Amino acid sequence: MRNLIKFSIGRPVFTLVTMTLFILLGAVSLTNIPLKLIPEIDPPVAAVVTSYDEAGPQEVVDGVSRPMETSLSTIEGLESINSISMEGSSLTLLEFSWTTSIEDVENDIIQNMNQTELPSGAGSPQFLKFDPSQIPIIQASISTIDNDNDNLTEQVNELETDLLQVDGVGSIDFMGDAADEAAVRLDQNLLEENNLTQEIVVQTLQSHNVTAPGGVVESGEAEISTRLLFEMNSVEDIENITLTEDPEDGEDVTVADVAEVSIAPEPTDMITRTNQDDAIMLSVQQQADANTADVSRAFINELDSLLEDDQYSDLDASILFNQGEYVDEAISNVALALIAGGFIAMAVLFAFLRNFKTPLLIGIAIPFSVIVTFVLLYFSNFSLNIMTLGGLALGIGMLVDNSIVVIENIYRHLNMKKDPKQAALDGTKEVATAITASTLTTISVFLPVVFIAGIVGNLFREFALTVAFSLLASLLVALTVVPMLASKWLRTPRADVETERRKSRFVKFFDSSARWSLRHRFTIVLLTLLLLVGGGAGVTTVGTEFLPATDEGFFQIDVENESGTPLESTFEDMEEIEAILDDENDVAHYTAVTGSSGEQGPMAGQGGSGHEGVVYVSMVPVNERERSTMDFSEDIRTDVERAAPDAEISITMDASFGSDPNTFSFDLSDSNPLQLEEVSEDLLEQFEDMSEFTEVTNTLEETVPELQLNIDDDEAREAGLTPAEIASQVEQMTGGALATQIVTEENDVYNVMVRYEEEFTETEEDLENLLLQTQDGDYIALGELAEFDEGESPEEIQRINQEESVQFDLTFGTDYNLGEINTIVQDEIDEYGLPDETSISYTGDQELLEDAVNDLTFALILAIVFVYLVMAAQFESLRYPFVIMFSVPLVVIGVAIALTLTRTPISVTAFIGLIVLVGIVVNNSIVLVDYINQRKEAGFKSADAIIEGVKDRARPILMTASTTILALVPLALGYGEGSEIQQPLAITVIGGMISATFLTLVLIPVLYSFMDKETRFMNRKYVTPDGQLIPAYLMEERYSDETGKTRGRYISDEKEDMSEYYRPAEDVPESGQLVDVEEDRSGEQPNEASQSDDPFMYDENVVDRLPSRKEKHRADDLSQEEILKRLESMIERNKNRRDDE
């Protein structure tokens, strides 16, 4: 290390060239680092989707979900297996441990699912894995004022072609577009007249629209392949297809004879409107390796450019959610906090140093360290996100710490009249080991964070490594660039700066405080313990949460009426809600989607049928409104509920970090479905009556009305039909059947859908009159084969780890936090008393928080151990690191005060801040203890070395602490989007640093004095014949300013406040009177060993020992002259012993 320092100072041009090279590399790296909101999170989750047409939820459970669960439950690394069984499909979710890669188990999953025995009607299972790139980065709507939905769909399709060409765009999904189809609407009466069925029509159309290879023929010397073509290209082609012959006149019976054929919009139960105009919603997914901010920016620019064309003059685009814009805003805000923190750190340096050159020398560590960090981020394949920038913002105030220590020591050597080069070399060399160990101490606390699994590890791994990168860069700067520049810029000071400094009020204050602390050691310890107890109690009052709620300016309102409510009634409710939002100035855009097309789109909250609806609300920018998105949504909840009194209203905000703000979720599981249902209903009723919750839902209450057809097996057998055949025919009659596709001459593609006219399937009576063809060709009404009953069935059946379960979601207001709600819920469940067979498992944010706390607690313990080990290696001692570690609990006091004053709940980020503090606060104690040890090695007695350490190290300690604290203030203010996630961390670090810094200068010297043999009983008092009590440490020897390196007696003089050591006048004993001297203030009685080892204990057989206050003695045993002689003898003896050593 000495060679590196010497080389940097001796080769300044080479050092500058290297600096320039790093600056260029940093600039290139910065331009190539992708911008993202958060680090990539790849949860170990997979899914298996299996269709089971015409089966209800319970049939799906028995036929698909149970067998699939049994087959997949043996895969290695599986932590939980959940299934959701719904009408016609099964979804099996597999959650693995975070140490398991889905790629490693993918083949096992596919093999097991393919080997599962499924019913004949079930489709082939499909394997799916979580892909973050499939999460939409933009949700937008295209609306038209002329309310021509057909024309709107055509124009949006044209826009799609151009928008898909934008670099980085993966796909675009639509909601509300009116796609056309070639509709073949059958007349049941005409089918019966011609002895036809829907199935015959479908099969005939399929057979008349083929293209197939026809073999190879020879043409001369060449072989030509042939292809058979019979394609339908128009409605007329479909109408002219012959289905059969009329048995009476032999005329062809065509499609046109039994059906009406036309190009018409697909039937839909969805109405989509933006700001009360007809609209189509767009959901944009990016490519896997794309830059979110760049893709969204390019997409919006292209969309705006296209809409400027005259052909789209009647269209208007509204951006509901733009993650790219949020990424830009969030990163800009954190970056501004970083820059502001850097300037504040520089201002602190100018305030302390009060000159121009020195702050610039120290401050150069900030930009250069940041630039080097960018290089390391690029080569580590990290993105530039709010976590990496948050790491830089946290470290910005610490980047100057090493440089401060180096510059301070260089100045000390300059005061020794050394030339600048030698001073730079010697000054840097002396502290190189110390600042390296100090940096490693700070970095060591981040090692456990790097190895944490789960979502917390994924979020904070890049944060931890970024801080480590920046601190390593600052160490490199302090050992190379700073001494090189110091050797060029700094000069030997003309005045004796050190003497002036020691005369300052600042130094005198800390001198007095150190002496007072050492005289009242047990008072200091007791007060610290009381503060710790108070701080610990204060922390318990702020509550907990997983991650701070972020204001992304987007939320959604879900509306759910009773199942079976017609689309028109739901639409009326949606119109009332639209009117409420239209009057709010804080709302930028809103899109209301009533009903569903029958397809589940990528957007959360999409309705399932005509009784449901969802409103997507986009807020104006946060700086243009006075309320947060959460507060606004709570404010309008009452109005929305009043607008739709018969509907269930749910307001949700999905965070980009994967959490579900203000929602408490848990699952109940039981092998007994009836008992599970009873418990779930009781708890639902219990929670609904509680004022803490604004909304209470569970999956058990989600049922749908249905018309149940109970097939008469005898009648069906007599008709020659099986129940499966009846179900298949009825499903196609009511839902339609896809026959084929046609491609028109204009290259438009249409699905050919064969349906019955609505008049034959609208009511229950119509269904009873549906005609099914029997095996002998006759027709029989459906009502003769089945009995119709009205009933309800669960919308879905959920199972957790192969047991039936019910999921509860409890929404609470901003007046509560997750920890408070957890206590309330647990108290209610404990009071209710769950049956032994019923188990409860917490999900959502509570589950994430519990997992995170376990991981972070382990990381905190490891961080403390790592810090201790690094310090033990540095000090070559186990005792001094033990003293230093007492600075760690001191942070609890400041953290408690900071979190309580700001009403900030304890979250994952606050816990990370606590871990960070472990590595930061010990640095101040390291500086102090190391300096005390240096003073002792220079010949100072322990008491004097402690006082000198506090006096001399207070300034650099306060300087480094101030830069760290004040540089975090912009981040702690939490201004703007994206800064919320880092705010608790900054508040925690600021509070902990303030308390630990000031208490370190008071408590650590006291604890050091207890650990040091010479000062362990330093406050023991000795009595003179005139009644004066003298503490032991005042009779020791030390270096004084007046004597320089000559040992002098340190006995009370006029400068020393000895008032507390004098007895009152009436207590002065008369000659010959026995004196009962007070016991040590500590109340401790030394054991025999300590008495015999104390050089100041009275022993009448030893001539040159003073009488101890521990024993009774006569005041006239010794005269004042004899006491002074004995003091001189002791000093001389100690001097000789020191010289011999």
What residues have CB less than 8 Å from 586, skipping those under 6 apart? Answer: 619, 620, 625, 626, 627, 632
For residue 1086, the 8-state DSSP code is: -
In-domain check, residue 92: yes
Q: How far is CA 861 from the centre of its chain?
A: 21
Secondary structure of 916-983 in HEC code, one letter for each residue: HHHHHHHHHHHHHHHHHHHHHHCCCCHHHHHHHHHHHHHHHHHHHHHHHHHHCHHHHHCCCCCCCCCH
Instruction: Flag residues of the chain having pLDDT under 50.
Output: 597-608, 1036-1118
Domain that holds residue 1040: 1021-1140
Q: Which of 94, 129, 164 is the last residue of a domain?
A: 129
**1043 and 1126 fall within a common domain:** yes
Q: Which of 739, 772, 794 is the last residue of a domain?
A: 794
List the structure tokens of 479: 């050992």
CATH number at residue 1: 1.20.1640.10
In-domain check, residue 370: yes
pLDDT at 1107: 46
CATH number at residue 171: 3.30.70.1320
**224 and 175 fall within a common domain:** no
**6 and 74 fall within a common domain:** no
- How far is it, in rounded angstroms, from Cα 247 to Cα 846? 73
Through-space distance between the first and last CA atoms of the chain, rounded to whole angstroms = 31
In-domain check, residue 937: no
**Nearest-5° Cα angle at 25, 21 to 30:** 150
Among 948, 913, 911, 904, CA closest to 928: 948
Extract the runs of DSSP E, i.e. beta strands, from 620-745: 648-652, 663-670, 693-698, 703-711, 737-743
What residues have CB less than 8 Å from 613, skipping those under 6 apart? Answer: 558, 559, 560, 570, 571, 573, 574, 592, 593, 594, 595, 607
Among 140, 160, 139, CA closest to 312: 160
**410 and 494 fall within a common domain:** yes
**Residues 515-530 as b or e (16 or more Cβ within 10 Å = b):** bebbbbbeebeeebee
Q: How far is CA 799 from the centre of its chain?
A: 28
List the structure tokens of 388: 């990496």
- How far is it, in rounded angstroms, from Cα 49 to Cα 937? 74
- How far is it, in rounded angstroms, from Cα 967 to Cα 347? 10
Among 338, 486, 521, CA closest to 413: 486
- How far is it, in rounded angstroms, from Cα 372 to Cα 472? 9
**608 and 560 fall within a common domain:** yes
Contact 644, 576 (CB under 8 A): yes
Give the amino acid at 1076: D
In-domain check, residue 988: no
In-domain check, residue 950: no
**393 and 484 fall within a common domain:** yes
**589 and 629 fall within a common domain:** yes
**1093 and 1113 fall within a common domain:** yes
- How far is it, in rounded angstroms, from Cα 771 to Cα 773? 7
CATH number at residue 125: 3.30.70.1430
**Nearest-5° Cα angle at 215, 212 to 217:** 135
Q: Looking at the 3D structure of the chain, how many domains does it have?
A: 6
- How far is it, in rounded angstroms, from Cα 839 to Cα 369? 53
Distance set, CA 677 to CA 668, 669, 673, 698 (Å) = 10, 10, 6, 11
Helices (H) and strands (E) in the chain, counts: 40, 36
Distance set, CA 932 to CA 351, 952, 1005 (Å) = 27, 10, 9
Pairing of strands 180-186, 749-756: parallel
**12 and 68 fall within a common domain:** no
The sign one gets for the Cα dihedral 948, 952, 953, 958 is positive
In-domain check, residue 889: no
**443 and 589 fall within a common domain:** no
**1035 and 1127 fall within a common domain:** yes
Among 1008, 995, 1017, 1009, CA closest to 883: 1008
pLDDT at 1021: 66
In-domain check, residue 238: yes
Distance set, CA 950 to CA 439, 517, 564, 947 (Å) = 22, 11, 78, 5
Among 601, 607, 614, CA closest to 555: 614
In-domain check, residue 929: no
Contact 477, 364 (CB under 8 A): yes
CATH number at residue 733: 3.30.2090.10
**171 and 185 fall within a common domain:** no
Q: How many CA atoms lie within 13 A of 972 on its CB side?
A: 22
Q: How many CA atoms lie within 13 A of 252 on its CB side?
A: 8
